[in-house]
A and B are shown apart, each in its own frame.
Chain A
């Protein structure tokens, strides 16, 4: 009983940690939304509404894959770490590793 509750606590603390970190990012000035996406482009956690999330996740996932393959084509030892897209209205930042994708959208001018 004790072990299982401990296990539950550890799992829960991981989740809490993840949420805390995401809240920290969301709290930075100008951040409009944060999305955590898995390797296939399916959103896991988001602060935006569903349709926007799904759109961002799908499009940015494809773009990240393309960017990563570009980097690796040029030099196979290299890998993509961070992708920043600056548009007229926002800046979209994407960071990726093997399993997950973290997308942050910021409004930089305000």
Chain B
């Protein structure tokens, strides 16, 4: 084996460089499978003993190196000749330049035998040194471990060839000889001759091609030593499926209730000492906190609460009602007066006015023929057009009062002078009212339709069963309840106002129902016939809403007002219900169902049977009635069945107050307090509280001019307006003055007939005032009168309560006073009879005085004894 050592000089000019020996160790695969410098040896145990390299004793896996002297090996070889283990390496050992050879214990048999001999010096050193170096390095590392671990970047070494160049060279194909070139050309005579090419398939005939198919040659086999393969990783896919269990849906419910203690457990706890200790220990802090809260409210910010009443400083000091607009109808109302005014509940800016003749009763009788030709109207005015009314409702006679239906603003009910109730349905013309409101773009259209449309009434009540005197007040019942035959309020299933209440000076209050009356047990054939009848068309294009009522309408409850304490009856002029729709138009109505059809068929509504109706508990069935004689009557409208005759009779009124001298022209409830009522008589007005029977809470002074009408303000609880005969309006503010109006303003020259307020927007509140000359004035309510402070309601309520207390106090005082008077009289009587015996009295007085003194002494002793101030001995010595 020749040495595989080569000293290679790096290429280039390197005469100036000093380079150390660069050792190349090439590893060529020898047929034996181990490098050349390694020679696997088998050493017998004798040899091992001889050389001191016994396996696992002198040389181990960790320390496999053993240096053997060359001379020893040569000696051994000489002594044992061919038997020696070293005989195969005899020549190598002889050639070995140094004295010591490295023997390595090959524990793992990497080279085939248990030992191997390293045959070259350099290899030996390399094997030894790295381990030594490694050890040294390790030690160095260990020493330096604590100091610092320096990350070593690998240093670049010049490339050491390991013989791979040869391999590459062997594999590459190089030209070993010059290329052979052949030139083939056909014979001369063939050149230039015409050629004819044709196709021939190779498969034609057997000589078309020569085939050399491959075949399995059994005598020759090559074992593939190397194989080029390529590997690609791919994910393992697997198809699988799952299915959930389908469980049947089942209705299940649970109910829970809070845990509670039984009675015994509670008692047990209450008796435990722990609880007592806890409560007594905790009591003090509770008391402190509770008292703190009672003394003062810590969280109340006085600063902010202080300033909320000073809004007037912003400069709005106007207090007068400003005229906004006035309406005067020139065509129809020459000699007429306005009897009643009502704002349209939903369309803002539209107001309805009832025009009646300005004549007294005698004049009416005189001119009755002329009056028949002059029909009366209700006019609708719109702010956008002060000259032409928008709509005209025809009435059979002068209408003294009318109301819009609260659930359907297209239905209007009015009470006439002849005692009839009239119903109008303006649903066909509502668009016109709304349209013109939206601005003046329809002016051109208006010129064409110069005529205001006239709407005829849908239905009138029957004359025989209605009122026998002019109807002075009419009101709708709210849609929350309706009345049964006995006057018991029951739940209204249809949520539509279906019942009306009217009163007239013919001494009765009537209740009317808009639905067709309940027909009792007809045979089937008759019912069928009725349904097959075609509904007759009303003339003049009047809608059929109330066809079922026309001329046959009668009231279902008739409440008479028998007088208390005397025979006769009261003649009502105005009335007021607790749950009414007039005084608080925006108040307690439930949310309107937007999907409800217009003009819901009243004909389709049926009076439900008495069994189905649920009576409502919280509706008060009592009403206040103002009469012609100036009395205020508090009565119940529920009918009682008289046991003797079986008829329904109304009860006697509960209270009756005579306050005003002449007829009561207004009875209205405050929109803020359901139990405060304002009544206006001719010269005075009074405020009442429902339930207070002593008298009015507030009674005004008598005024010089007659008071014609009164109306509460809708925005301020303490303000109400009184209209007077001289055409002025008094504005009363209960917070400022209760003996005189806070303001008085003259509006027109004729008497005021009606006052109504409306809130168009939060910045604009309007007051509609009508006068006797037929003019309708619209006034703007100033800021001071429409803005209520936060606590105003409370203050006003407290004021009313105070007044109530005052009344009670007065009554008590009166009773006391009377009692005292009686006592005084009794005493006087007694005194007169007792003047006979003066002497005996003196003696008796003396005896009595002595007795008292003795009693006093005994008492004194007792007290001193109890206090422990008196000694027993002292006591006895005193005695």
- Interface on A for B, CB 8 Å cutoff? 11-12, 14-15, 17-19, 21-22, 24-25, 28-31, 36, 38, 40-45, 54, 57-58, 81-82, 84, 86, 91, 93, 95, 97, 99-100, 102, 104, 106, 108-109
Q: Which residues of B contact A24 (CB under 8 A)?
A: 283
Name the contact of A29 in the complex, choosing from B272, B281, B294 (C-beta under 8 A).
Answer: B294
Q: How near does chain A come to B257, taking the closest CB pair, in angstroms?
A: 9
Contacts A18-B270, A44-B266, A91-B293 hold; do A28 and B278 have CB atoms under 8 A apart? no
B275 at the interface (CB under 8 A from A): yes
Return 24 A-B CB contacts under 8 Å, by A number.
A11-B271, A14-B270, A15-B270, A17-B276, A18-B276, A29-B290, A30-B290, A30-B294, A40-B259, A42-B258, A42-B260, A44-B266, A54-B258, A82-B289, A84-B289, A86-B299, A97-B282, A100-B275, A100-B279, A102-B278, A102-B286, A106-B290, A108-B293, A108-B297
* Chain A contacts for B80, CB-based, 8 A: none
Can you name the residue of chain A whose Cβ is closest to the Cβ of B296?
Answer: A108
Contact present for A97 and B299 (CB under 8 Å): no
Most buried by A among B275, B276, B281: B275
Q: Does B285 make an interface contact (CB < 8 A)?
A: yes
Q: Tell whether, in the assembled complex, residue A25 and residue B267 are in contact, meaning their CB atoms are under 8 Å apart.
A: no
Partner of B286, one of A15, A42, A93, A108: A93
* Total residue contacts A-B, CB cutoff 8 A: 96
**Contact of A102 with B279 in the complex, beta carbons under 8 Å:** yes
B261 at the interface (CB under 8 A from A): yes
User: In the bound complex, do residue A31 and residue B290 qualify as a contact, i.e. CB atoms below 8 Å apart?
Assistant: yes
B666-694 contact mask (Cβ, 8 Å, vs A): 1 or 0? 00000000000000000000000000000
Tell me whether A15 and B285 are in contact (CB under 8 A): no
13 more contacts with CB within 8 A, not counting A18-B275, A100-B278, are A22-B279, A25-B283, A28-B287, A36-B269, A41-B259, A43-B260, A44-B269, A45-B269, A82-B289, A97-B281, A99-B274, A102-B278, A108-B297
Which applies to chain A's interface (DSSP): helix, strand, loop or mixed?
A: mixed
Count of residues in B whose CB is under 8 Å from the partner chain: 30
Chain A proximity of B304: nearest CB distance (Å): 15
User: How many angstroms between the C-alpha atoms of A104 and B281 in the bound complex?
Assistant: 15
Interface contact B293-A104, CB-CB below 8 Å:
no
The smallest C-beta distance from B482 to any residue of chain A, in angstroms, reads: 34
B280 at the interface (CB under 8 A from A): yes
Q: Taking CB as reference atom, which chain B residue is nearest A50?
A: B260
B185, CB-defined interface residue at 8 Å: no
Q: Which of A14, A18, A106 contacts B293 (CB 8 A)?
A: A106
Partner pick for B282 among A29, A40, A95, CB 8 A cutoff: A95
Q: Which residues of A contact B278 (CB under 8 A)?
A: 97, 99-100, 102
* B528 interface residue per 8 A CB criterion: no
Q: Mark B249-268, 1 if CB is under 8 A from A, else 0.
A: 00000000011110000110
Is B201 an interface residue, CB under 8 A from the partner? no
Q: Which 5 residue pairs of A and B lie closest in terms of their CB atoms, listed nearest first?
A: A108-B293, A54-B258, A95-B282, A28-B290, A11-B271
Query: Do A42 and B280 have beta carbons less than 8 Å apart?
Result: no
Residue in A19, A45, A81, A91 whose CB lies within 8 Å of B285: A81
The smallest beta-carbon distance between B827 and chain A, in angstroms, is 43
Q: 8 Å CB contacts to A: which residues of B197-236?
A: none
Nearest A residue (CB) for B274:
A99
| Of A30, A95, A108, most B-chain CB atoms within 10 Å | A108
On chain A, the residues within 8 Å of B270 by CB distance are 14-15, 18-19, 44-45
Q: Decide: B286 and A25 in contact? CB cutoff 8 A.
A: yes
Q: Provide the residues of chain B in CB contact with A12, threshold 8 Å.
A: 271
**Chain A residues in 8 Å Cβ range of B290:** 25, 28-31, 93, 104, 106
Which residue on chain A has the smallest CB distance to residue B299? A86
The answer to whether B267 touches A15, judged by C-beta atoms less than 8 angstroms apart, is yes
The docked-state distance in angstroms from the alpha carbon of A25 to that of B287 is 7
How far is the CB of B475 from the nearest CB of chain A, in Å? 37
Find A45's partner among B260, B266, B281 (CB 8 Å cutoff).
B266
Tell me whether A109 and B258 are in contact in the complex, defined as CB-CB below 8 angstroms, given that A25-B286, A45-B266, A97-B282 are known contacts.
no
- Least CB distance, A52 to chain B, in whole angstroms: 11
Q: B residues 283-335 with Cβ under 8 Å of A?
A: 283, 285-287, 289-291, 293-294, 297, 299
Task: Give the chain B neighbours of A19 by CB distance below 8 A.
Answer: 270
**B273 at interface (Cβ–Cβ under 8 A)?**
yes
Closest to B282 in A: A95
Q: How far is the CA of A81 from the CA of B267 in the complex (A)?
A: 26
A98 to chain B, nearest CB (A): 8
Q: Which residue of B lies closest to A8 (CB)?
A: B271
Closest chain A residue, CB of each to CB of B290: A28
Distance (whole angstroms) from the CB of B259 to the closest CB of chain A:
5
User: Cβ of A43 and Cβ of B261 under 8 Å apart?
Assistant: yes
Q: How far is the CB of A100 from chain B (nearest CB, A)?
A: 5
| Assembly CA distance A29 to B259 (angstroms) | 31
Please tell me if the beta carbons of A95 and B260 are within 8 angstroms of each other in the complex.
Answer: no
With a CB–CB cut-off of 8 A, which chain B residues contact A29?
Answer: 290, 294
Cα A44 to Cα B274 with chains together (Å): 13
Most buried by A among B258, B260, B273, B280: B258
Q: Which residues of A contact B272 (CB under 8 A)?
A: 14
What residues on A are CB-neighbors of B260 within 8 Å?
Answer: 42-43, 54
Chain A residue at smallest Cβ distance from B257: A54
> Contacts of B293 on A, CB cut-off 8 Å?
30, 91, 106, 108
State A12–B272 Cα separation when bound (angstroms): 10
Query: Which residue of A28, A42, A43, A104 is within 8 Å of B294 (Cβ)?
Result: A28
A95 touches B297 (CB 8 A): no
* Least CB separation from B287: chain A residue: A28
Q: How far is the CA of A58 from the CA of B256 in the complex (A)?
A: 14
Q: Whole-angstrom distance from the CB of A85 to the nearest CB of chain B?
A: 11
Question: Which residues of A are found within 8 Å of B259, using beta-carbon distances?
Answer: 40-42
A94–B594 alpha-carbon span in the complex (Å)? 48
CA distance A35 to B353 in the complex (A): 62
* Known contacts A43-B260, A81-B285, A109-B297; A21/B269 CB under 8 A: no
Chain B residue with the shortest CB-CB distance to A24 = B283
* B289 in contact with A93 (CB, 8 Å): yes
Q: Which of A14, A95, A104 contacts B273 (CB 8 A)?
A: A14
Q: Which residues of B sit under 8 angstroms from A109, Cβ to Cβ?
A: 297
In the complex the two chains form, is A42's CB within 8 Å of B285's CB? no
Complex formed: what's the CA distance from A109 to B269 in Å?
34
Q: How far is the CB of A87 from chain B (nearest CB, A)?
A: 10
Are A18 and B258 in contact, with the CB atoms below 8 A?
A: no
B276, B280, B291, B297: the one contacting A28 at CB < 8 Å is B291
Q: In angstroms, how far is the closest chain A Cβ from the Cβ of B280?
A: 6
Of A28, A42, A81, A102, which is within 8 A of B261 by CB?
Answer: A42
Residue contact B269 to A38, C-beta cutoff 8 Å = yes
